[in-house]
Amino acid sequence: MTLDTVAGRQAYTEDHEAFRQTVRSFLARQGQPFADQWNKDRLVPKSFWRQAGEVGMLCPTVPEAYGGLGLDFGYNAIVDEEMAYAGVPAGFSLQSDIVAGYIEHYGSEEQKAQWLPKMVSGEVVTAIAMTEPGTGSDLQSIRTSAKKDGNHYVINGSKTYITNGQNTDLTLVVAKTDPDASPSWKGMSIILVESDREGFRKGRKLDKIGQDAADTSELFFDDVRVPITNCLGEEGKGFIYLMSQLPQERLSIAVSVQATAQKAFDETVAFTKDRKAFKGTVFDFQNTKFVLADLKAKLQVGWAHLDWCIKRHLAGELTNEEGAAAKLFHTELEWEVMDKCLQLHGGAGYMNEYPIARSWRAARVSRIYGGTNEIMKEVIARKL
């Protein structure tokens, strides 16, 4: 099965769709055959990042001057859709859709020249460290500090739930450079920290209920010294930078979860038509048909809304609250699809050997990361 089950897409051009075929072919050869092993290993090897870089799947928006393809976000979205539908667990979207944007928009010429080409090639894996053990969605309460000492920052603190945390070569660390600033968000900065810096330590690869191969980790900073020039953009502007990039981050999540929901639906239609029950198939029951028909209608609406969001974003018009609404709507839809599809699998749905069980477990976090859905409602409500 492929995403060709979705008809009438409006967000993409012929060039986008040609790129989709390249991505799909690559994943069929180099991703899907190894996904089960990566889940068992609880890690995606760095070699896969380099292979993806060779076919142009990493950071498509990076300008050609820095080794990229200079394309629009639609190409990122295609990678997100195809990876999610194929069930390939690498954290490319974090690098391509989030970190690359920060460096492109706010990085110095030296930072761009040093890091973007290696991110495009897959030579460097990146992470962004915001969440702390005692601080989730409330970023203004972070405690990690970056104090000036001559021409260096000295960073102390800890981060948790960090995507790409074990594989990371470069981490964008959100830290307090001015703990006395009022309001507190004015004292936040983003500092680039290379993984070979003395005092930087990767902690546990965290044991999650789903997304087994996802590289989610703890990070620790004990008197980590980095040059002042490692500050991304202006000191004290970190919170503003984070807020300005949220629409794309949340749209990226919406894209991925819509694709995983579609995959669960397609697999469930096939399963119910094959599974025998009471001298027929599970699909023959009216309840099965009605549940699937209801989900089909909602997925159809979801794809139309997603295309609207992508087109808005490509035009530079997607607002913060629209990005929040996309994240809210599509993650809630994903959970409804996953739960109802697992139910239609019966007892098989509770067995990890079936894809729906793994997909259902993996989907639970979607309503938490990228800002909880409760926070999404707060963001939307501010503009009512």
How buried is residue 322: exposed, middle or buried, by Cβ count under 10 Å (0-12/13-18/19+)?
buried
Is 116 found in the same domain as 11?
yes
Distance between CA 207 and CA 380 in Å, rounded? 32
Query: Is 54 in the active site?
Result: no
335-381 pLDDT tens trace: 999 999 999 999 999 999 999 999 999 999 999 999 999 999 999 99
88 phi and psi angles, rounded to 5 deg: -90, 120
Final residue in a domain of this structure, among 124, 146, 177: 124
What is the residue whose two structure tokens read 């945390």? Answer: 165
Final residue in a domain of this structure, among 236, 255, 289: 236
* Pairing assessment for the beta strands 126-129 and 145-149 based on DSSP bridges: unpaired
Name the catalytic one among 132, 218, 235, 249.
249
Is 69 found in the same domain as 100?
yes
| Sign of the torsion angle spanned by Cα atoms 353, 213, 70, 120 | negative
Final residue in a domain of this structure, among 124, 157, 186: 124
155 phi and psi angles, rounded to 5 deg: -100, 135
Is 288 found in the same domain as 210?
no
pLDDT greater than 70 at residue 145? yes
**Tell me, what DSSP letter sits at residue 30?**
I
54-80 pLDDT tens trace: 999 999 999 999 999 999 999 999 999
Is 173 found in the same domain as 62?
no
Is 283 found in the same domain as 301?
yes
Q: Which CATH number covers residue 137? A: 2.40.110.10
Check if the beta carbon of residue 133 is closer than 8 Å to that of residue 162: no
* Pairing assessment for the beta strands 145-149 and 188-194 based on DSSP bridges: unpaired
Q: Which CATH number covers residue 72? A: 1.10.540.10
Is 365 found in the same domain as 265?
yes
Is 144 found in the same domain as 119?
no
The number of distinct structural domains making up the chain is 3
Q: How far is CA 341 from CA 224, 273, 311, 314, 378, in A?
A: 48, 13, 30, 33, 30
Is 170 found in the same domain as 287?
no
- Give the rounded percent of residues in the chain with a pLDDT score beyond 70: 99
Is 99 found in the same domain as 166?
no
* Pairing assessment for the beta strands 170-176 and 200-205 based on DSSP bridges: unpaired
Is 158 found in the same domain as 33?
no
- Please indicate, yes or no, whether the overall pTM of this predicted structure exceeds 0.85: yes
Number of helical H runs and strand E runs in the chain? 13, 9
Q: How far is CA 58 from CA 15, 156, 193, 195, 320, in A?
A: 17, 31, 21, 20, 25
205-263 pLDDT tens trace: 989 999 988 889 999 999 999 999 999 999 999 999 998 888 999 999 999 999 999 99
Residue/partner pairs of 63-66 with CB below 8 Å, 24 or more apart:
63/104, 66/112, 66/113, 66/116, 66/117, 66/120
Is 377 found in the same domain as 253?
yes
Q: Which domain holds residue 7?
A: 3-124
Provide the pLDDT for residue 330. 98
Is 100 found in the same domain as 15?
yes
